[in-house]
Amino acid sequence: MVLDTGCTHTVIHTHKAKKLGFKPSKKNKNSGIMTASGAIDSYSFSYLFFQALGITFENKSVQVADVDVSNEYAGYLGLDFFEGKKFTIDLPNQTIEIIE
């Protein structure tokens, strides 16, 4: 996943989500999300959990969309991933510190 501090919601690319069992339907279609390139269709996808940066993101819903992301990444970690957490981004040292 790529950390995107301008993204309010965590977004998984459609192709990766389908590998996890996601099936798009009218029931889970959203009004869309705004990207730097404009609005795109999105869907909601609920899952049990995933972990990144030492944080477990449990029983949440993520957005699924055909986002512009390299094949080596599954999508974007949005700010909702850090809900209730304090974190710092140290650009010169290229580190992220989670403060519990």
What is the pairing mode between strands 95-99 and 38-40?
A: unpaired
**pTM given for the model:** 0.76
3-state secondary structure of 70: coil
Is the pLDDT score of 33 beyond 90?
Answer: no
- The CATH number for 2-99, chosen from 1.20.1560.10, 3.90.870.10, 2.40.70.10, 3.40.50.12590, is 2.40.70.10
The pLDDT-based confidence of 28 (bands split at 50, 70, 90) is: confident
Q: Tell me the average pLDDT of the chain.
A: 83
* The predicted structure's pLDDT at residue 90: 94
pLDDT digits (tens, 9 = 90+) for 35-71: 777 788 888 887 767 788 888 888 778 888 888 777 7
Residues forming a β-bridge with 33 = 40
